[in-house]
Amino acid sequence: MEQSIVASNPVLFMIAALLIIMACYTALDLLTTLLTIKRYKRLVYIGSSCSMGVAIWTLNFVVIFTLDNSGMAAYNFSTIIFSLALAIALAGVGLLAISYKTQVLQIVFCGFMFTMAILSNYIMGTSSLNHSLHFSPLSVFSTLFSIFILFVAALAILFYFNKLSQSSLKPVSTLLMSGAIIEGYYLF
């Protein structure tokens, strides 16, 4: 994107960042609850998937409405809504893998699905503004790899450091995941 959302509207960016942090915390809280409860697992899983999908989608949605100067007629609302559904679906697939077992392979797969959700949302958001995409392959790979590492680190911290309570590790994991989502905007 040509300009930064922080430069054009810093208050809106801060609101979006706070919404991302709250949604990530909610998703992680519901995920840890999902691993311990016996009843209402489907409902908690859907809530966790929706919360993480909205967290991934929020900043992209704010960027779409902040950076476009051509007016409301240039938006493709069906693409914007589809990007939300895609973010929720990809987050749901990642959370489904980690909801049964919290082993390394499932954590890596979940981080990969979250990374693909960020990439797909960025592409969908750009296409909803009718912009063309021009990327350097090395830049895209390095960005996606760093986002992937942040997601995997956040999930590994939450599920593999059992010496501390999970309630003290959720904020750390939340900040790492929120940082990965925000980094996805800045590095593209």
Contacts of 153 (CB under 8 A, 6+ apart): 176
> Residue 51's domain spans which residues?
5-187
Instruction: Determine the pLDDT at residue 1.
Output: 45
What value does the mean pLDDT take over residues 77-85? 85
User: Per residue in 102-129, pLDDT tens?
Assistant: 788 999 999 999 999 999 888 887 777 6
Cα separations (Å) of 171 from 25, 103, 144? 7, 21, 23
User: Per residue in 132-184, pLDDT tens?
Assistant: 667 788 888 888 999 999 999 999 988 887 656 656 788 889 999 999 999 88
What value does the mean pLDDT take over residues 84-89? 93
pLDDT tier at 39, thresholds 50, 70, 90: confident
Q: What is the overall mean pLDDT for the chain? A: 83
Four-residue CA torsion sign, 188, 123, 16, 161: negative
Q: Is 141 exposed, middle or buried (0-12, 13-18, 19+ CB in 10 A)?
A: exposed
Asked whether the predicted pLDDT for residue 18 surpasses 70, the reply is yes
Instruction: Determine the pLDDT at residue 180.
Output: 92
Domains held by the chain: number: 1
